[in-house]
Amino acid sequence: MRVGTVAVVVLTLWSAVPAVARPVPQEAQAAVAPAPTLSDAQIVQFLENAKVVKTKSIGKGVTGAIRATLSDGTLTHDAQIQKIDDKRAEFSAGKVREFNFEDSWRFNVAAYRVDRLIGLEMVPVSIARTWKSDRSAFTWWLDDVQMDEGARLKSQKQPPDSGIWNERMQLVKLFDQLIGNTDRNSGNLLIGTSWQVWAIDHTRAFRTQNTLPNPTNITRCDRQVLAGLKGLSRDVLKREIGEFVSDFQIAGLLARRDQIVAMIEKAGPAGVFDRRR
């Protein structure tokens, strides 16, 4: 997430898996009891209003994220809090050099909202909230996680259905191209015990470039997500994420959207699938 004859493989960091399905023991490592099934609206209300009971460092990543336990008196659940908001005229890390660099909590909230606008549903709920006098992103902590993609690759575990897995990876890659995410890595792709995929940590997304960061990552798209992409407009994005991104970032997203849609449509029927959950 190639145009022309569309391959069903997924390249680069998140490998496509062989067509042979193998059973895999599922070693859940949820740190807290699973929460009752809640709607996005209920999760938003909880994240916005629940009291922060305790916090601890996550110990991974470079954004200083912390894990917080929240309670509203009825439900107790964890959230990730990120308050990084770093802007630089120029940023260099190894061979990577970027101008007008931003690394911001705001993009976590914007990524969640864009995810829901297009019907992707692979990004956990994230809201804006003040934490210790700083505006921050409070993101629902995912239970029922067996590992991240880095651990899967290291252990060489294979999903029970390679076709479904490849479709999910194609959608993650398409989403990263849409939002201009420059920091996807195997540590911020989480895999549930039922092999659902969650994309987290989007603080280095929403670049202003009008071109796709890696167009070869656009291979196929779920039919409903494609319809959601076509439904995006400046007015809709301004209303839903204008608080968190600039007009230039919205314009860049729409330009990338146009390229994605054109590539999928050029691929014809082979470029579209109906997602299996």
Separation CA 196–CA 178 (nearest Å): 21
Q: CB of 194 within 8 A of CB of 147?
A: no
Residue in 121, 109, 115, 47 with CA at minimum distance from that of residue 79: 47
State whether the Cα torsion 250-251-256-262 is positive or negative. positive
Please report, in tens digits, the pLDDT of each residue of the chain (277 residues total).
Answer: 333 433 333 334 454 544 333 333 333 344 445 557 899 999 999 999 999 999 999 876 556 799 999 999 999 999 999 999 998 877 777 777 777 789 999 999 999 999 999 999 999 999 999 999 999 999 999 999 999 999 999 999 999 999 999 999 999 999 999 999 999 999 999 999 999 999 999 999 999 999 999 999 999 999 999 999 999 999 999 999 999 999 999 999 999 999 999 999 999 999 999 999 8
Could you tell me the CA-to-CA distances from 157 to 11, 146, 196, 274 in Å, in that order?
A: 17, 11, 14, 25
Q: Which pLDDT does position 13 carry in this prediction?
A: 44
Other beta carbons less than 10 A from residue 133's beta carbon: 7
pTM value is: 0.85
Q: CB of 137 within 8 A of CB of 105?
A: yes
The percentage of residues in the chain with a pLDDT greater than 70, rounded to a whole number, is: 86
Residue in 211, 214, 191 with CA at minimum distance from that of residue 254: 211
Residue bearing tokens 């997430």: 1
pLDDT per residue as tens digits for the range 131-188 = 999 999 999 999 999 999 999 999 999 999 999 999 999 999 999 999 999 999 999 9
